[in-house]
Amino acid sequence: MKAAALAFLVAGVASIGALADDSCRAQAVASKLRGEEVRAFMDACKSLAEMVCEGRVIEQKVSDDAKASFLKRCTQDEVGR
């Protein structure tokens, strides 16, 4: 079961960059993940989404004042509400 979860996780994480319109939640549903597999996938996907959003802060030169709200909204959008 762990091998299957890992396979879904790797496939989902690899596809997050390619599928910019799909949130982590949408990818988990499309992959038909259940139980522990969903939790593990969502944790990994959220970590990746946070890194992507940190990169966007740098690229877009977001001010320090707006950084926290930008990161929160960006992460929510990537993960899926």
pLDDT in tens, 21-39: 588 988 888 989 899 999 9
pLDDT given at position 22: 80
pLDDT given at position 18: 45
The residues of the chain scoring below 50 in pLDDT are 5-6, 14-19
Torsion on CA atoms 61, 65, 68, 72, rounded to nearest 10? -80
pTM over 0.85: no
CA distance 13 to 15: 5
Is 25:79 a contact under the CB 8 Å cutoff? yes
Which residue range(s) make up the domain with 28? 2-79
pLDDT given at position 80: 85
pLDDT given at position 44: 94
Domains in the chain, number:
1
